[in-house]
């Protein structure tokens, strides 16, 4: 039976591929896509989610807009990587996939409440919507199978020295979600940096030849070039790694460890403190993804792109 999931995202080039990976894989039942400010302002991330579905022919999956800003901070888009509209590179078509009139939290709540089996939440951006859902609907926590989040890092970050962008954007929300008691997996930079968008990867996607692949190759070219300019590496395709883990747990190794979110530090707010060596003697509360089967990961991505429009 396919795993029912909701993707909560801030598209973003890699979020688009996360949506496509879920939509094109037979082992996933994509119930909804919800959006949050993060890689871009909410108006951009919401439009980009609709564009992603439109290009790939993904219909019948509701798309709903969520939080315009973090719980306690100002929105700070990652324009240096994703461009001013959060999806730099190709000319974006006018989306034909409609916007659901409900808010993201309303849509998540409705789906989780009505689902016949527990639903997996796959957030690939800041955790603002998920934290709001947790606070608003505590009785529904038991109907969430798990949360698999692309965010954080076991080491250094990509915003300042320590924080990763999704955690840094709304550390208070991340703290609420991690402490919610819902089973939690962190898919951080330590594993997503193993999924590098090389020229070979881009050409492999382009060679699929359908509309999704051609559009996707343009996205990857821009994304990888931005990373090369800013960080000196080809772009890591972060967000689909979280979806891949939901599809096939053997695509990554993981360890059970203590995860705490730093919310106060001047230089470290948003740092994900992963106690890999049990130095704090605190109860482990998260699965931490560690090593990626890179060949299997790219095979999953390309198979999904091939299955779409």
**For position 133, what pLDDT does the model report?**
98
Q: What is the mean pLDDT of the chain?
A: 97
Q: Which residues, 6+ apart, have CB-to-CB distance to 54 below 8 Å?
A: 93, 95, 96, 97
Q: Does domain 3-300 have CATH number 3.90.245.10?
A: yes
- The pLDDT, as a whole number, for residue 160 is 86
Write down the pLDDT at residue 171.
98
What is the pLDDT, as a whole number, of residue 62?
98
The average pLDDT across 63-69 equals 98
Per the annotation, the verdict on 13 as an active-site residue is no
DSSP state string for 266-288: TTTTT-EEEETT-SS-PPP-EEE
With 90 as the cut, is the pLDDT of residue 210 above it?
yes
Residue 80 pLDDT level (bands cut at 50, 70, 90): confident
d(C-alpha 256, C-alpha 274), whole Å? 10
Q: What is the mean pLDDT of residues 6-35?
A: 98
Structure tokens given for 189: 């930079």
CB neighbours of 29 closer than 8 A, spacing ≥ 6? 2, 3, 4, 5
- Residue 269 in this model has a pLDDT that exceeds 90: yes
pLDDT value at residue 129: 98
Residue 143 burial (C-beta neighbours within 10 Å; 0-12, 13-18, 19+): middle
pLDDT at 180: 97
What mean pLDDT comes out for the span 158-180?
96
List C-alpha distances in Å: 31 to 164, 186, 267, 268: 28, 21, 38, 35
The pLDDT assigned to 196 comes to: 97
Dist CA 221 CA 229 (whole Å) = 12
Catalytic residue among 82, 193, 238, 277: 238
Q: Residue 43 contacts by C-beta under 8 Å, 6 or more apart in sequence? A: none
pLDDT over threshold 90, residue 288: yes
Cα 247 to chain centroid distance, Å, stands at 14
Least trusted range by pLDDT, from 25-39, 72-86, 187-201, 239-253:
72-86
pLDDT above 90 for 42:
yes
User: Model-level pTM greater than 0.75?
Assistant: yes
pLDDT in tens, 139-168: 999 999 999 999 999 999 999 899 999 999
CA gap 40, 165 in Å, rounded: 12
Domain ranges of the chain: 3-300
């Amino acid at each position: 039976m396919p795993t029912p999931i909701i993707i909560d995202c801030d598209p973003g080039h890699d979020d688009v591929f996360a949506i496509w990976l879920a939509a094109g894989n037979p082992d996933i039942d994509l119930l909804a896509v919800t959006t949050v400010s993060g890689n871009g302002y909410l108006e951009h991330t919401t439009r980009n989610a609709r564009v992603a579905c439109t290009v790939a022919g993904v219909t019948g999956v509701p798309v709903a807009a969520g939080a315009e800003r973090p719980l306690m901070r100002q929105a700070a888009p990652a324009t240096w990587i994703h461009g001013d509209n959060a999806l730099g590179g190709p000319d974006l078509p006018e989306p034909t996939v409609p916007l659901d009139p409900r808010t993201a939290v309303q849509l998540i709540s409705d789906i989780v409440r009505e689902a016949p089996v527990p639903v997996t939440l796959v957030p690939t951006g800041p955790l603002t919507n998920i934290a709001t859902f947790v606070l608003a609907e505590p009785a529904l926590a038991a109907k969430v199978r798990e949360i698999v989040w692309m965010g954080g890092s076991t080491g250094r970050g990509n915003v300042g020295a320590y924080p990763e962008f999704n955690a840094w954007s709304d550390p208070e929300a991340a703290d609420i979600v991690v402490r919610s008691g819902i089973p939690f997996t962190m898919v951080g930079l330590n594993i997503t940096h193993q999924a590098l968008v090389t020229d070979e990867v881009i050409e492999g996607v382009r060679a699929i030849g359908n509309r999704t692949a051609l559009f996707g190759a343009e996205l990857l070219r821009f994304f990888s070039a931005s990373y090369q300019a800013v960080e000196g590496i080809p772009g890591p395709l972060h967000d689909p790694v979280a979806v891949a883990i939901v599809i096939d747990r053997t695509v990554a190794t993981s360890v059970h460890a203590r995860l705490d979110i730093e919310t106060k530090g001047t230089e470290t707010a948003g740092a994900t403190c992963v106690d890999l060596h049990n130095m704090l003697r605190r109860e482990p509360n998260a699965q931490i993804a560690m090593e990626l089967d890179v060949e299997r990961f790219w095979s999953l991505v390309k198979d999904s792109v091939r299955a779409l429009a």
